[in-house]
Structure 1
Amino acid sequence: MSQDVFFPRVETERLILKPLLPSDAPGLLAIFSDAEVMRYWNTAPWADVQEAIAFIEKSNESMRGQQSLVLGIWLRSTDELAGKCMLFSYDKASRRAEIGFGLARSCWGRGYISEAGEALIQYGFDSLGLRRIEAEIDPANQASAKALGKLGFSHEGLLRQRWEVNGVVSDSAIYGRLLSDHPARHG
């Protein structure tokens, strides 16, 4: 598989998905230092720009190693960094990966996750040859559950007491979407 397949530029009607650069760190910090954005994550909000830089460096290294795909989400109309989307825990032999998103609060409720998500899912199925994409969310995160439903994911189970962050224990809801779930979308 070509190295370039892990550094794509994917365009939709309103969005551009592309790899993050070190110069994107301040914009990324502005998004992921927001406690509301990070409310259901298994890590605390970022505290300084070094965390954003480290995330970008780790993401790009993981992409060079063909272990994950981490793309920034930009608004085409303003070239504003709106968030990030990821296919991670990539298992080439099993043709599966996990999907994740993070979006600036100012961009919530505008359908960007559905738009970026479907583009990323199609890229995973068509370019990475995935057969299965999984998502793990906090069961209390109803916005993510709704977004996953719109993206064609099925709720598959619950992992009890999966995470503990800052002394708070939470469960994980598991969702999955198979290549065969929506065959008309591929090609």
Structure 2
Amino acid sequence: MKPLTTDDSESRLKIFSDPEVMRYWNTAPWVGTQDARDFANDSNNSMLRKESLVLGVYLSSIGELAGKCMLFDHDEESKRAEIGFGLDRRCWAKGYISEAGEGLIQYGFNSLGLRRVEAESDPDNQASARSLEKLGFYQKGLLRQRWEINGNVTDSALYRRLAIDPSPQHKRAMHATST
């Protein structure tokens, strides 16, 4: 993982202009390279202001951009932030979210002093729900009719993970010793 650059604009556009990748997002698919450039610039400026941490997820074997992961809506006083991901469709179900997500969560807890990390997901997005649960998140609520994108109104499932919650690795180890 590393900060996004404008050099990755074409790769980012390819990922986030895909209607399947953007199907459950609260924004429409990107339409041009300017969207990708603006996202990188806005993300890097937001990081300078310490409002968010937006990183590109790269395939270590070939250095290719696989997507992005981010901590955003950081509230320093409340010690909370929201986590989000977006991956190229070719990278789905390969464990990248688990690996990048846990690293980002641990950075939030250990370096930023977060007490709580939240996530929001469309209830129809079962893959996102599974990824969040693998990362140790618990669903804690549902916001009905939360978003409207292109005339479609959707709900949002709310998830949370606390710094005091056992890590997914700890839960797996405890489960293995109890069976």
For 1:103, the equivalent position in structure 2 comes to: 87
Matching residue's letter, 1:66: K
Q: Runs ≥4 in structure 1, deviation > 6 angstroms?
A: 183-186
Q: Tell me, what secondary structure is at the counterpart of 2:108?
A: helix
1:46-72, Cα deviation, whole Å (9 max, x unpaired): 010000000011000100000000000
Q: State yes or no: 1:141 paired with 2:125.
A: yes
Quote the offset at 1:137 in angstroms. Answer: 0.6
Q: State yes or no: 1:178 paired with 2:150.
A: no
For 2:6, the equivalent position in structure 1 comes to: 22
What is the CA–CA distance in structure 1 between the aligned matches of 2:92 and 2:168, rounded to whole Å?
28
What is the CA–CA distance in structure 1 between the aligned matches of 2:166 and 2:77, rounded to whole Å?
22
1:89-148, Cα deviation, whole Å (9 max, x unpaired): 000000000000000000011111111111110111111111000000100000000000
Closer, same or farther in 2 for the Cα pair 1:157/1:78, shift >3 Å? same
For 1:84, the equivalent position in structure 2 comes to: 68
Structure 2 residue runs of 5 or longer lacking an equivalent are 171-179
For 2:97, the equivalent position in structure 1 comes to: 113
For 2:107, the equivalent position in structure 1 comes to: 123
What is the CA–CA distance in structure 2 between the aligned matches of 1:140 and 1:170, rounded to whole Å?
9
For 2:174, the equivalent position in structure 1 comes to: none
What is the CA–CA distance in structure 2 between the aligned matches of 1:28 and 1:149, rounded to whole Å?
26
Quote the offset at 1:185 in angstroms. Answer: 7.2
Matching residue's letter, 1:21: T
Quote the offset at 1:24 in angstroms. Answer: 1.1
For 1:34, the equivalent position in structure 2 comes to: 18
Tell me, yes or no, if the aligned pair for 2:120 and 2:157 is still in contact at 8 Å: yes
Q: Tell me, what secondary structure is at the counterpart of 2:164?
A: helix
1:23-66, Cα deviation, whole Å (9 max, x unpaired): 11111101001000000001111010000000011000100000
1:134-186, Cα deviation, whole Å (9 max, x unpaired): 00010000000000000000000000000000000000000000000026979
What is the CA–CA distance in structure 2 between the aligned matches of 1:79 and 1:53, rounded to whole Å?
19
Matching residue's letter, 1:91: D
Closer, same or farther in 2 for the Cα pair 1:119/1:38, shift >3 Å? same
Matching residue's letter, 1:181: D
Q: State yes or no: 1:62 paired with 2:55.
A: no
Equivalent positions of 1:144-159 (< 5 A) are 144-159=128-143
Tell me, yes or no, if the aligned pair for 2:57 and 2:67 is still in contact at 8 Å: yes
Closer, same or farther in 2 for the Cα pair 1:93/1:114, shift >3 Å? same
Tell me, yes or no, if the aligned pair for 2:2 and 2:56 is still in contact at 8 Å: yes
Q: Tell me, what secondary structure is at the counterpart of 1:99?
A: strand
Q: With the length of structure 1 as denominator, give the TM-score of the two structures.
A: 0.89
